[in-house]
């Protein structure tokens, strides 16, 4: 029997609740972690109780004063070592991601590199964290400085076991905060291992603690009186819920939600490049990306483009090597994805490529192949709901105005993309898309550091984006100091 994972507090593994191997079948205490490729149980994630959360928060509280008192230049020395340890151990981190998430190895290594890029941004904070100073009157000066909030927590989703925790962790702690991380109970192994690298890098006890658990543990963290700010990434319903809960408690909150990303193919687009890009976007990480393509709006009939997309997607194979499409996260996800395809079929939509063929192929694991639906019926649920699997809906539009009307009507607003060779057309769409991250001939338009990441509407219940300079502002408050040292005759409040 697999051992359950343990929480990480004060730079060591701990179990406070009675975590006995005999109890792993008790679903009130543990959740099995399954390998999506085989369906086998590979570990157990404990469902932390209040005393576990209290212990982690208390550890942060104990560490905070000494950590914030260090200079930022001092803090980044540890972050430099952490960056190097992540590079050195990338293969092992990727093994864990492939095992518990299911994505292919190249995708796993790419998410590690992207997570480490946020850490690289954090290394530049000594240059960015400087305050301002100005003589505001004769003899009177004002200065401001950026200060850590205290204890912050990050609640993260399953789809990027390493990258999403690293969207917040490096910037949160380099600015002087202490952080409690709650990984997704579906992929808890990756970050549990990364904690050991933080210790090896020299991070003092209590600066980062990790508690395992599900929704209940997440809510306990958000409610905890000593937690000053919360970041959340996950589904829109939970993002909205936690945002309201945290605002009601007067905590800073940054909550990112789901997505339904629309790509538009203008008649002049480069067929081969567009087809390749669209296929990579909707099949990459098996469609389990908040930046994945969901809907392709073709302006006019575009049979050659559609044929090329279907041909490229048909040639993909199931597996976890470079270029292959991995499984989806679990049984529930598999059922949800296939039910959207079945429903579309029942509604009379044309299934140009049917990924249900991959189901039960090897007899185990959660496999479903790339699926392409050509829609006639604009009300089909597959066109509107976030499916979070390798499914592309295609719809023909009469005009660019109609394409924009459809894109703007969707309640999400994470990403959108226009494929065209015409700069004027690209500008027209860029100005009108109702999304926070826009691509021109790029189907996964992730802004790279130092640009911040984030959507609008139901894709973000936050007042700022999550990485880059926005994260620096989120994790700090401004202290304004007004000073008067000059003798009275040199002072004037007016000049
Ligand atoms: P999820 O909402 O089910 O879970 C996310 C986290 O919240 C997990 O740690 C989970 O334990 C916790 N949680 C779940 N229900 C909760 C509740 N009722 N109260 C408190 N905490 C709760 O999301 P998921 O299935 O793990 O991730 C997929 C979703 O994340 C998709 O919708 C995807 O679009 C979204 N996502 C968005 C972004 C973005 O940047 N906007 C990035 C990655 C993923």
DSSP labels, 121-176: HHHTHHHH----EEEEEBTEEEEEEEEE-SEEEEE--SS-TTHHHHHHHHHHHHTT
| Cα 222 to middle of ligand 1, angstroms | 15
| Cα 363 to middle of ligand 1, angstroms | 29
Q: Is 155 in the pocket of ligand 1 (CB under 6 A)?
A: yes
Pairing state between β 133-137 and 140-148: antiparallel
- Closest by alpha carbon to 212, among 192, 228, 227, 230? 192
Q: Is 233 in the pocket of ligand 1 (CB under 6 A)?
A: yes
Q: Is 235 in the pocket of ligand 1 (CB under 6 A)?
A: yes
| Cα 157 to middle of ligand 1, angstroms | 4
- Closest by alpha carbon to 373, among 313, 323, 317, 413? 313
Distance between CA atoms of residues 249 and 236, nearest Å: 20
Domain with CATH 3.40.309.10 in the chain: 261-411+415-440
Say if CB 169 and CB 78 are below 8 A apart: no
Closest ligand 1 atom to Cα of 454: 40
Q: 66 CB contacts (<8 Å, ≥6 apart)?
A: 204
Rounded to 5 degrees, φ, ψ at 461 are -110, 60
pLDDT at 17: 59
**Exposure on the CB side of residue 449, measured as CA atoms within 13 A:** 25
Residue with tokens 């679903």: 27
pLDDT at 178: 98
pLDDT at 27: 63
| Cα 235 to middle of ligand 1, angstroms | 4
Q: Is 389 in the pocket of ligand 1 (CB under 6 A)?
A: no
Say if CB 92 and CB 112 are below 8 A apart: no
- The pTM is what? 0.96
Closest ligand 1 atom to Cα of 155: 9
Q: Going residue by residue through the chain (495 aa), what tens digit of pLDDT does each one get? A: 567 899 999 999 987 655 555 555 566 678 999 999 999 999 999 999 999 999 999 999 999 999 999 999 999 999 999 999 999 999 999 999 999 999 999 999 999 999 999 999 999 999 999 999 999 999 999 999 999 999 999 999 999 999 999 999 999 999 999 999 999 999 999 999 999 999 999 999 999 999 999 999 999 999 999 999 999 999 999 999 999 999 999 999 999 999 999 999 999 999 999 999 999 999 999 999 999 999 999 999 999 999 999 999 999 999 999 999 999 999 999 999 999 999 999 999 999 999 999 997 667 899 999 999 999 989 999 999 999 999 999 999 999 999 999 999 999 999 999 999 999 999 999 999 999 999 999 999 999 988 999 999 999 998 889 999 999 999 999 999 999 998 888 877 776
**Residue of the CA atom closest to atom 38 of ligand 1:** 290
pLDDT at 487: 84
Distance between CA atoms of residues 396 and 244, nearest Å: 38
Q: Is 386 in the pocket of ligand 1 (CB under 6 A)?
A: yes
Token duo for residue 134: 């100005």
Q: In CATH, what number does 7-233+464-479 get?
A: 3.40.605.10
pLDDT at 460: 97
Q: 26 CB contacts (<8 Å, ≥6 apart)?
A: none
Distance between CA atoms of residues 320 and 108, nearest Å: 10
Q: Is 374 in the pocket of ligand 1 (CB under 6 A)?
A: no
Q: Is 159 in the pocket of ligand 1 (CB under 6 A)?
A: yes
The packing angle between helices 215-223 and 236-248, to 10°, is: 30
Domain 261-411+415-440 has CATH 3.40.309.10: yes
The DSSP line for 232-289 is EES-HHHHHHHHHHHHHTT-EEEEE----EEEEE-TTS-HHHHHHHHHHHHHGGGG-S
| Cα 259 to middle of ligand 1, angstroms | 12
Q: Is 238 in the pocket of ligand 1 (CB under 6 A)?
A: yes
Say if CB 40 and CB 34 are below 8 A apart: yes
Closest ligand 1 atom to Cα of 186: 26
Token duo for residue 217: 């543990």
**Residue of the CA atom closest to atom 43 of ligand 1:** 290
Residue 155: CB atoms within 10 A of its CB come to 28
Token duo for residue 163: 């990258």
Distance between CA atoms of residues 35 and 39, nearest Å: 5
Say if CB 167 and CB 466 are below 8 A apart: yes
pLDDT at 4: 83
Q: Is 215 in the pocket of ligand 1 (CB under 6 A)?
A: yes
Q: Cite the active site residues.
A: 290
**Residue of the CA atom closest to atom 34 of ligand 1:** 258
Query: Which of 188, 219, 234, 460 for mutating ligand 1's site (highest number of atoms within 8 Å of CB)?
Result: 234
Q: Tell me the sheet residues that pair with 182.
A: 155
Domain with CATH 3.40.605.10 in the chain: 7-233+464-479
């Amino acid at each position: 029997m697999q051992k359950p994972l343990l929480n990480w507090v004060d730079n060591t593994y701990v179990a406070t609740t009675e975590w006995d191997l005999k109890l792993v079948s008790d679903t009130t205490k543990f959740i099995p972690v399954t390998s999506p490729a085989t369906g086998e149980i590979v570990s157990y994630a404990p469902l932390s109780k209040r005393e576990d959360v209290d212990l982690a928060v208390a550890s942060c509280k104990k560490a905070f004063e000494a950590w914030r008192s260090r200079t930022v230049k001092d803090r980044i020395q540890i972050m430099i070592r952490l960056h190097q340890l992540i590079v050195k151990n990338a293969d092992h981190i990727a093994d864990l991601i492939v095992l518990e998430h299911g994505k292919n190895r190249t995708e796993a290594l790419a998410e590690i590199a992207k997570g480490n890029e946020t850490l690289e941004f954090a290394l530049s904070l000594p240059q960015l964290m400087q305050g301002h100073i100005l003589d505001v009157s004769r003899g009177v000066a004002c200065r401001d400085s950026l200060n850590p909030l205290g204890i912050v927590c990050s609640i993260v989703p399953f789809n990027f076991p390493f990258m999403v925790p690293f969207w917040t962790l490096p910037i949160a702690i380099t600015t002087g905060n202490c952080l409690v991380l709650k990984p997704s109970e579906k992929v808890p192994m990756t970050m549990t291992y990364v904690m050991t690298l933080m210790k090896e890098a020299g991070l003092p006890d209590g600066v980062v603690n990790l508690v395992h658990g599900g929704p209940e543990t997440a809510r306990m963290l958000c409610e905890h009186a000593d937690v000053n700010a919360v970041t959340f990434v996950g589904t829109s319903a939970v993002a909205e819920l936690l945002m309201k809960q945290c605002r009601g408690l007067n905590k800073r909150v940054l909550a990112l939600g789901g997505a339904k990303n629309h790509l538009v193919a203008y008649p002049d687009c480069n067929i081969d490049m567009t087809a390749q890009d669209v296929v990579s976007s909707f099949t990459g990480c098996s469609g389990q990306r908040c930046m994945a393509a969901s809907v392709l709006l073709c302006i006019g009939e575009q049979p050659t483009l559609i044929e090329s997309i279907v041909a490229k997607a048909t040639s993909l194979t199931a597996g976890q090597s470079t270029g292959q499409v991995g499984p989806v996260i679990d049984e529930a996800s598999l059922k949800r994805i296939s039910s959207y395809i079945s429903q579309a079929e029942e509604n009379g939509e044309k299934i140009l490529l049917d990924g249900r063929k991959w189901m039960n192929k090897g007899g185990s694991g959660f496999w479903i192949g790339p699926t392409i639906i050509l829609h006639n019926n604009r009300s089909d649920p597959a066109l509107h709901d976030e499916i979070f699997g390798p499914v592309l809906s295609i719809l023909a539009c009469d005009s660019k105005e109609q394409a924009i009307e459809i894109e703007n009507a969707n309640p999400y607003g994470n990403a959108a993309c226009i494929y065209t060779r015409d700069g004027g057309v690209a500008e027209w769409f860029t100005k009108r898309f109702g999304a926070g991250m826009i691509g021109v001939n790029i189907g996964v338009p992730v802004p790279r550091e130092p640009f911040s990441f984030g959507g609008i509407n139901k894709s973000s219940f936050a007042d700022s984006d999550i990485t880059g300079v926005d994260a620096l502002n989120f994790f700090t408050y401004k202290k304004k100091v007004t000073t008067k040292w000059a003798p009275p005759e040199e002072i004037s409040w007016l000049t």
